[in-house]
Structure 1
């Protein structure tokens, strides 16, 4: 009798979940509208970012030692900027794009108007990775994986190195991933191993360490400015929804797991998850569930959103193309 009741409950729950998933999926469909061929053979792209000011998508194409800039309206290659040995993270500000070079441990600076490299500054760290810009005071923060540090730079020429932050835990197993500055909160959020360091950019100090008891790595995050939540990726096959004071509000499970970059479309209430399984999960922020998938290709893991058109730009590593998706 007990067994029958248990099976019945499981069946009902499963049916409800399936019904909800089907309903959600029917409300949210995306199609591939264009693939943009990139120069060279490709094979790995570590970060994609979108710049609303210039209507461009920026792709770090590390095997070709360059950065590719895509015109988001014409959907064509606008520029190829070379001379970057092993590009990792990239952040685009008002006048400049800043790229972390993991091999040379440099912060490479690109002028947004001329699309030319204008500076290359030593980070003082090892295996430079994530880059974020404090838009309130103009400083640039670079995460260094192997030294488990965060280097602070002035955001204007000569782009002087002005600080160094020891991250936690110390020592770290894998070190930091890509960081995020949130202007409204005036904080930098830095995943390190399976925790998140909270950095005050004014004092250049770690002021809190958030531990959500993840078994695997905490990954890069985005900010949902409408709900006032941080959306944090993880290799635990779940996305964390966290309040600004570090409280876990909710978690959203997904079937993949080997994720990297995530992107948010706040107005559309969608998060897109760069998952190496060959399918990017689409998460409804209000329903708090996966509602759709973008069919990408295996090992694709970086992507960005154009908030004006709601298009998603995905770097397809193996075929060395940008896949452009849009809602239908």
Structure 2
């Protein structure tokens, strides 16, 4: 997704440009955080490339209903959500009028899809079967990622530049409340074990743990070694959280029992979207640089199994825990047209 940099980040960027110019004058090449990490062949096999409609503008999140085999892709640059039947390998429909759509989340139990329209500061609820927009509700500034709380029947939106969470009723779209984070919001996730919400506070390099009943922060977890924690996904059965730090290309493993960082791994530059297959225990980290990192969990320990350039623009990933296929929408596939790349784990 598009990073809207804070004043602190802009100052750091300006300083970096000055250093880069100085290095160029001296005949030295500087790369952010030492450049890309060492390459490890990806344990993936390309099985399909599905043509996508629209122009070759930016894609963002994707969310899959594995029971129905329906994948919903946010086409941010076109302000559309594209629905793909992953069993028939074809596009079902395009859902229009979602200005600057960033986040998309399908909730199979409700047969609904939720999408954040960042340019309108709204969250929209969509009928999963018909593609009809059922209602829209207000959010804070620049709504981005989404999570569903099944206990309180609410949808949470991370308002990136607004630095808050907007909590809306999953049925009506009415705002239930707002949680101020004290910094820019990254991604949000629901922990089904503790029934709490976890949110990246990316300008503070920490996780905020929120009581969804009281709508208040109960704990702040420091993330040493992380610069700008943006990506977040949980492995609830293993009591682990995975945090992608797009400022220094690091992936952190956080123990959800002790709240300690137990592992740090290098990933491709500007990591963005994460996906986790809880059945196979496979983790996927897609980066703005087009690099994808794969990793496996065993005995609550994460091991990197692959790390390489997959395709330009492949910063979004979704995974199907029934087929174990992973999906990557990209602006330029074969012939230069937008496409959905479908990969299977290699034997």
TM interval, shorter chain, is 0.7 to 0.9
Q: Deviations over 1:92-132 (max 9, x none)?
A: 11221111111100111101121211111122x11111211
Deviation at 1:224, TM superposition (A): 1.5
What is the SS of the residue equivalent to 1:268? Answer: coil
1:285–1:127 CA distance, 2 compared to 1 (3 A) = same
What are the equivalent positions in structure 2 for 1:179-194 lying under 5 Å apart? Answer: 179-193=188-202, 194=205
Listed as ranges, the gaps of 5+ residues in structure 2 are 1-37
Asked if 1:228 is matched to 2:239, the reply is yes
1:279–1:215 CA distance, 2 compared to 1 (3 A) = closer
Q: Deviations over 1:265-316 (max 9, x none)?
A: 1222211110223221111222633212465212321111000000001111
State the partner residue of 1:288: 302
Q: Deviations over 1:209-234 (max 9, x none)?
A: 11112451112222213322112222
Distance 2:237 2:141 in 1: 36
Choose from 266, 269, 272 the match for 2:284.
272
Q: Deviations over 1:149-180 (max 9, x none)?
A: 111111112x2112111113xxx3xx112211
Distance 2:55 2:196 in 1: 38
What is the SS of the residue equivalent to 1:63? Answer: helix
Deviation at 1:41, TM superposition (A): 1.1
Distance 2:290 2:211 in 1: 37
Asked if 1:162 is matched to 2:176, the reply is yes
Deviation at 1:89, TM superposition (A): 1.0
Distance 2:331 2:239 in 1: 33
Choose from 299, 321, 326 the match for 2:339.
321
TM-score normalised per structure 2: 0.81
Listed as ranges, the gaps of 5+ residues in structure 1 are 1-17
Distance 1:68 1:43 in 2: 13
Distance 1:255 1:245 in 2: 25
TM-score normalised per structure 1: 0.85
Q: Deviations over 1:172-210 (max 9, x none)?
A: 3xx112211122221111111121111111111111111
Choose from 95, 107, 111 the match for 1:81.
95
Choose from 47, 72, 78 the match for 1:64.
78
Contact 2:116 2:145 in 1 (8 A): yes
Deviation at 1:82, TM superposition (A): 0.6
Asked if 1:44 is matched to 2:58, the reply is yes
Asked if 1:149 is matched to 2:164, the reply is yes
Contact 1:210 1:246 in 2 (8 A): no
Asked if 1:136 is matched to 2:136, the reply is no
What is the SS of the residue equivalent to 2:77? Answer: helix
Deviation at 1:59, TM superposition (A): 0.5
Contact 1:179 1:189 in 2 (8 A): yes
Deviation at 1:246, TM superposition (A): 5.0
Choose from 93, 116, 119 the match for 2:135.
119
Alignment RMSD:
2.0
Distance 2:263 2:120 in 1: 38
